[in-house]
């Protein structure tokens, strides 16, 4: 009986280690079915032109809410990664470069991996100026580059592609137009509309903390005294959409009449 108990404890301990331990990432291979797994689409740019140049190899560490840790070896320059992972909520944890360079990345936004889908995580840029300092950012390439990145993905990936932060299904419409600034067009308003009234900076500040992607465009249109109607393909979270809707509703009827129209694109 004692032997059976010891064997059971050892087996459970082994399963715990294998389930929540550290593991190397598994690249997705073309025409492979994801099954119960999901995958992430991530671009990395590692600049090691400072003191670290040519001295160390680096590893990007990611972790899930279930305790899974993924380790992705990085090389200097730009790389695209399509990586298989168990479903869950993930975050960047650290960048290891040699024995004495462990840089934290905990404040980066978390992202979701969904079974059967590929999550567009975006572009992570890392710059090592010396062995003590890491600069990192999630960047948004110019619209044309983002479109090229999308078109360069295998068809199997594009077919099941979602954003990693809002879990929205993506398609080519996300790359037709990307607004760097808010655009507004109004006609026959009852009073002058100050552009600052519709910027809603607080909404976007909150969005940046949970979603670094700026993909696509969302447009709100109001005709006469009717309600605002929304359209467009975009990767914004429902939190931002609700915030914008509430903000536009707060404009009140003093701006509008039966002949007025207002279109705002974000």
Q: What is the pLDDT of residues 3-45, one digit of tens each?
A: 333 333 333 333 333 345 667 789 999 888 999 999 999 999 9
CB 213 within 8 A of CB 140: yes
* Top-level class of domain 24-172: mainly beta
Q: What is the pLDDT of residues 123-144, one digit of tens each?
A: 999 998 777 888 899 999 988 8
Q: What is the pLDDT of residues 171-193, one digit of tens each?
A: 999 998 766 689 999 999 999 99
pLDDT tier at 68, thresholds 50, 70, 90: confident
**pLDDT score at 248:** 96
CB 22 within 8 A of CB 69: yes
Mean pLDDT of all residues belonging to the chain: 88
CA distances for 182 relative to 88, 147, 198, angstroms: 34, 20, 9
Q: Which residue stretches of 86-159 are H helix?
A: 143-151, 155-159
Cα(21)–Cα(76) distance, integer angstroms: 27
Cα(119)–Cα(163) distance, integer angstroms: 5
In 30-117, DSSP assigns E strands to 38-47, 58-64, 69-74, 77-85, 88-97, 102-104, 111-113
CB 212 within 8 A of CB 138: yes
Where exactly are the structural domains of the chain?
Answer: 24-172, 183-265
């Amino acid at each position: 009986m004692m032997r059976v108990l010891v064997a059971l404890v050892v087996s459970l301990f082994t399963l715990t280690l294998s389930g929540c331990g550290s593991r190397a990432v598994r690249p997705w291979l073309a025409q492979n079915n994801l099954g119960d797994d999901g995958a992430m689409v991530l671009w990395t740019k590692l600049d090691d032109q400072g003191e670290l140049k040519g001295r160390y190899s680096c590893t990007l560490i990611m972790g899930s809410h279930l305790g899974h840790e993924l380790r992705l070896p990085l090389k200097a320059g730009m790389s695209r990664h399509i990586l298989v992972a168990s479903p869950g909520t993930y975050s960047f944890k650290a960048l290891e470069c040699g024995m004495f360079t462990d840089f934290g990345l905990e404040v980066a936004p978390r992202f979701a991996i969904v079974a059967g889908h590929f999550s567009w995580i975006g572009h992570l840029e890392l710059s090592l100026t010396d062995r003590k300092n890491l600069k990192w950012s999630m960047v948004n390439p110019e619209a044309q580059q983002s479109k090229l990145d999308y078109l360069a993905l295998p068809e199997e990936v594009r077919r099941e592609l979602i954003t990693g932060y809002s879990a929205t299904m993506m398609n080519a419409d996300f790359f037709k137009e990307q607004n760097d600034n808010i655009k507004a067009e109004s006609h026959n308003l009852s009073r002058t509309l100050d552009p600052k009234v519709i910027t809603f900076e607080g909404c976007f500040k909150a969005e940046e903390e949970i979603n670094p992607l700026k993909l696509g465009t969302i447009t709100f249109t109001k005709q006469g005294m009717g309600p605002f109607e929304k359209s467009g393909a975009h990767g914004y979270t429902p939190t931002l959409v609700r915030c914008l809707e509430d903000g536009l509703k707060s404009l009140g009827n003093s701006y509008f009449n039966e002949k007025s129209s207002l279109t705002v694109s974000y």
